[in-house]
């Protein structure tokens, strides 16, 4: 099956081709309780040894090239840019099938595949689409997102990294933080302040910056889990050609909104089957510690199973009803649901294990959960804090009045008094 297929390919024929492609390359995952046995640590953010991490990324890039060449690397993409031209239903079915096999993990490449590439497709010039899209989906380029700054997290429009126009392009100066996979990335989508005299949402512009450019410095950030999945990126007089600009000058907020919508979609989707596998492992843990007859544990396990299933159905419903914006603000619902589910999963594990969750008492199934428990709070921050996401839902889905910000003309105390 080549990557030049058409949307009239029926799902049954597509499934046969996809199954044949996967069956000849990777073995199937186990099922039931056996799949959870000896599976290793449960993690939300991969953080292996740097040498192992590098080797895993190279393996993932090879897998992306193989998958792309077979026609399954960009299933919904336009054929003129290298996509297969199929529907979202074909994409979901392939993801379901792929989850059944032990394919290489592409976690460190997800930002490029699910956020940067769709943004380039939406806002890039024809030359940018031709240059970047095929290369990202095929694993030839690894991309990261350079948005957050020490003074601009949830209030992303407050970015202070500057881009000053010069004769042959732009010069960038500033700092970005919490950048996933920057240590592996070839390029990054960056948002910069280009006109400090305009309102903050109006005076920013987006670019694609090559991370091997002179003046770019990447430093790892150590987490409380002990790993370093995120980075700081410093830019000192970094030159970027105007042909690398995404969208119009001072219209970067539109580009940012596209990227954030895609990022929240990625967070709420996660790898197909991941929630199911995590539930199996929690259930195995409860059986190992003989907690399955505890009425409180049983109630929480039941709630977790129902919530996981409901969140998957909610995500599928939003995807089925999505318009040209890919689902819009409604995607925030599943982002919040995923964080709540993982928080409940963490609570159940802690209730089963007690102090053993953070102490190696000799039982492998105990310490396997420590990293997961420590990582769960990050889900309330990633892709926009839960508080900001709730504001988005209230304003853009429910139609409630906009919440006053720190730069609002009417002080909040005056609104309360009124």
State pLDDT tens for residues 40-70. Answer: 677 777 666 778 888 889 999 999 999 999 9
**Answer CATH for 273-397 from 1.20.1070.10, 3.90.550.10, 1.20.140.10, 3.40.50.10800:** 1.20.140.10
CATH of domain 22-142: 1.10.540
Catalytic-labelled residue, pool 98, 121, 149, 263: 263
CB proximity list for 177: less than 8 A, separation 6 or greater:
148, 149, 150, 221, 230, 232, 233
Residue 411: pLDDT band (50, 70, 90) is low
Token digits of residue 14: 């597509």
pLDDT at 133: 96
The residue ranking higher by pLDDT, 211 or 167, is 211
In 3D space, the residue among 230, 186, 228, 233 whose CA is nearest the CA of residue 49 turns out to be 228
As its CATH architecture, domain 144-253 has Beta Barrel (2.40)
Domain(s) labelled CATH 2.40.110.10 in the chain stretch across: 144-253
List the single range of 110-114, 233-237, 412-416 with lowest mean pLDDT. Answer: 412-416
- 248 catalytic per annotation: no
**Rounded to an integer, what distance in angstroms lies between the CA atom of residue 359 and that of residue 370?**
8
State pLDDT tens for residues 340-389. Answer: 999 999 999 999 988 888 776 666 666 788 888 888 888 888 777 888 88
The answer to whether 294 touches 301, Cβ cutoff 8 Å, is no
Does the pTM surpass 0.85? The reply is: no
pLDDT at 18: 94
Is the pLDDT at 392 greater than 60? The verdict is yes
Residue 225: pLDDT band (50, 70, 90) is low
CB proximity list for 76: less than 8 A, separation 6 or greater:
83, 84, 85, 86, 87, 88, 90, 91
The residue ranking higher by pLDDT, 281 or 133, is 133
pLDDT at 34: 44
**Rounded to an integer, what distance in angstroms lies between the CA atom of residue 14 and that of residue 20?**
10
pLDDT at 407: 55
CB proximity list for 16: less than 8 A, separation 6 or greater:
none
The residue ranking higher by pLDDT, 254 or 36, is 254
Q: Rounded to whole angstroms, what are the CA distances from 161 to 143, 165, 170, 174, 353?
A: 19, 13, 12, 4, 45
Residue 7: pLDDT band (50, 70, 90) is very low
The answer to whether 350 touches 289, Cβ cutoff 8 Å, is no
List the single range of 23-37, 77-91, 285-299 with lowest mean pLDDT. Answer: 23-37
Whole-number percent of the chain with pLDDT over 90: 44
Characterize 167-200 residue by residue with b for buried, 16 or more Cβ atoms within 10 angstroms of its Cβ, and e for exposed: eebbbbbbbbbbbbbbbbbebbbbbbbbeeeeeb
Token digits of residue 407: 């730069």
CB proximity list for 80: less than 8 A, separation 6 or greater:
none
SS3 at position 185: coil
The residue ranking higher by pLDDT, 100 or 365, is 100
pLDDT at 372: 86
pLDDT at 210: 97
**Rounded to an integer, what distance in angstroms lies between the CA atom of residue 147 and that of residue 145?**
6
Domain(s) labelled CATH 1.20.140.10 in the chain stretch across: 273-397
Q: Rounded to whole angstroms, what are the CA distances from 157 to 244, 257, 411?
A: 21, 11, 20
Degrees (nearest 5) of the Cα angle 27, 32, 33? 110
Residue 135: pLDDT band (50, 70, 90) is very high
Domain(s) labelled CATH 1.10.540 in the chain stretch across: 22-142
């Amino acid at each position: 099956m080549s990557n030049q297929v058409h949307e009239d390919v029926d799902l049954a024929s597509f499934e046969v081709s996809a199954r044949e492609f996967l069956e000849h390359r990777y073995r199937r995952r186990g099922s039931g309780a056996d799949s959870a046995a000896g599976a290793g640590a449960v993690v939300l953010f991969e953080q292996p040894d740097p040498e192992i991490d590098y080797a895993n990324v190279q393996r993932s890039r090879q897998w992306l090239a193989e998958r792309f060449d077979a026609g399954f690397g960009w299933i919904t993409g336009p054929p003129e840019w290298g996509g297969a031209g199929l529907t979202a239903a074909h994409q979901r079915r392939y993801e379901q099938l792929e989850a059944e096999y032990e394919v290489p993990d592409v976690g460190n490449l997800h930002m490029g595949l699910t956020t940067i590439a769709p943004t380039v497709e939406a806002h890039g010039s024809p030359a940018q689409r031709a240059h970047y899209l095929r290369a990202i989906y095929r694993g030839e380029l690894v991309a990261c997102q350079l948005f957050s700054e020490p003074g601009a997290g949830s209030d992303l429009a407050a970015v202070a990294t500057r881009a000053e126009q010069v004769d042959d392009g732009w010069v960038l100066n500033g700092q970005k933080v919490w950048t996933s996979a920057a240590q592996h990335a070839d390029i990054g989508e960056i948002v910069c302040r280009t006109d400090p005299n305009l309102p903050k949402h109006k005076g920013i512009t987006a670019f694609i910056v090559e991370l091997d450019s002179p003046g770019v410095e990447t430093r790892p950030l150590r987490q409380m889990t002990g790993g370093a999945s995120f980075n700081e990126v410093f830019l000192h007089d970094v030159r970027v050609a105007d042909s690398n600009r995404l969208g119009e000058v001072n219209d970067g907020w539109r580009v940012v909104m596209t990227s954030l919508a895609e990022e929240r979609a990625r967070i709420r989707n996660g790898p197909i089957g991941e929630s199911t596998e995590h539930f199996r492992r929690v259930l195995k843990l409860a059986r190992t510690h003989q907690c399955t007859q505890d009425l409180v544990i049983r109630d929480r396990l039941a709630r977790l199973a129902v919530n996981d299933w409901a969140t998957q159905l909610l995500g599928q419903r939003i995807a089925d009803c999505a318009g040209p914006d890919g689902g819009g603000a409604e995607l925030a619902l599943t982002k919040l649901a995923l964080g709540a589910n993982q928080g409940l999963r963490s609570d159940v594990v802690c209730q089963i294990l007690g102090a053993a969750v953070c102490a190696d008492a000799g039982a492998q199934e105990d310490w396997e959960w420590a990293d997961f428990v420590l990582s769960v709070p990050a889900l309330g921050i990633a892709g926009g804090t839960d508080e900001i996401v709730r504001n988005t839902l209230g304003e853009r889905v429910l139609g409630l009045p906009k919440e006053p910000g720190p730069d609002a003309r009417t002080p909040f105390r005056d609104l309360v008094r009124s």
